[in-house]
């Protein structure tokens, strides 16, 4: 049975990594001997996703090499004509997207069964949440009865439940987005305010590669080639 469509945000600059991303998009930086995005694509294929889409922007020429087929699965590419941020990148790819799809941050590894993340009636978006310690680098989620009732600003917290960077979304939540817009700052808070954003807390290895020390630590999560 198909798990559906998996879409990957790979267009960001990755400025916190300094010279490492001067010529290479952050999701293509090497981790355990291969570009990080390849670990994500392999996982999606293993879990039954039959349509893969890369949302590219910064240094998109490097991403274009992946268009075609990945491990037997169609892999398509959408390129931002200008920096559109995360929600804008999704809208730019609207013609490639199914009515419902999995969206994955291209700089994050969250190792749970992505295919098990399913929207239920009354929800337009679903976040895979993760408890982390400390939680000082991230906004935290207040979850009650499976819904996100508040998204808290970053704070110096010893632990907290955070957005894990993997989502199940309906395409129509982006209908009113035009131009540059953020998934995290615009779409998710609006869904939360309307009572349409769910969350499921999952366990599994989690890391984002946005800082030099976390990029280095990610190498330990994968068998080296």
Q: What is the mean pLDDT of residues 29-39?
A: 95
SS3 139: coil
Q: Is 206 exposed, middle or buried (0-12, 13-18, 19+ CB in 10 A)?
A: buried
pLDDT confidence tier of residue 40, bands split at 50, 70 and 90? very high
Residue 142: its pLDDT value, please?
A: 96
Determine the Cα–Cα distance for residues 181 and 88; give it in Å rounded to an integer.
5
CATH topology of domain 4-221: Spore Coat Polysaccharide Biosynthesis Protein SpsA; Chain A (3.90.550)
Per-residue pLDDT reduced to its tens digit, 157-188: 899 999 999 999 999 999 999 999 999 999 99
Per-residue pLDDT reduced to its tens digit, 68-87: 999 999 999 999 999 999 99
In the chain, what are the domain boundaries?
4-221
Residue 143 contacts residue 121 (beta carbons within 8 Å)? no
Q: What is the residue-averaged pLDDT of the chain?
A: 94
């Amino acid at each position: 049975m198909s798990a559906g469509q998996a879409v990957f945000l790979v267009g960001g600059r990755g400025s916190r990594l300094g010279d490492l991303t001067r010529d290479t998009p952050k999701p293509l930086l090497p981790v355990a001997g291969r570009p990080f995005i390849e670990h994500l694509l392999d996982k999606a294929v293993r879990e039954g996703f039959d349509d893969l889409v890369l949302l590219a922007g910064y240094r998109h020429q490097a991403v274009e090499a992946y268009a075609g087929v990945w491990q037997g699965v169609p892999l398509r590419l959408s390129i931002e004509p200008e920096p559109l941020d995360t929600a804008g990148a999704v809208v730019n790819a609207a013609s490639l997207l199914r009515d419902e799809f999995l969206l994955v941050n291209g700089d994050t590894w969250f190792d749970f069964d992505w295919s098990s993340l399913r929207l239920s009636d009354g929800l337009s978006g679903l976040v895979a949440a993760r408890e982390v310690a400390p939680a000082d680098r991230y906004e935290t989620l207040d979850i009650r009865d499976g819904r996100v009732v508040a998204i808290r600003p970053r704070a110096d917290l010893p632990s907290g439940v955070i957005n894990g960077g993997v989502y199940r979304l309906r395409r129509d939540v982006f209908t009113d987005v035009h131009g540059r817009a953020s998934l995290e700052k615009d779409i998710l808070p609006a869904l939360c305010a309307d009572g349409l954003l769910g969350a499921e807390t999952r366990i599994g290895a989690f890391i984002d590669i946005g800082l030099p020390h976390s990029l280095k630590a990610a190498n330990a999560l994968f068998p080296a080639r």
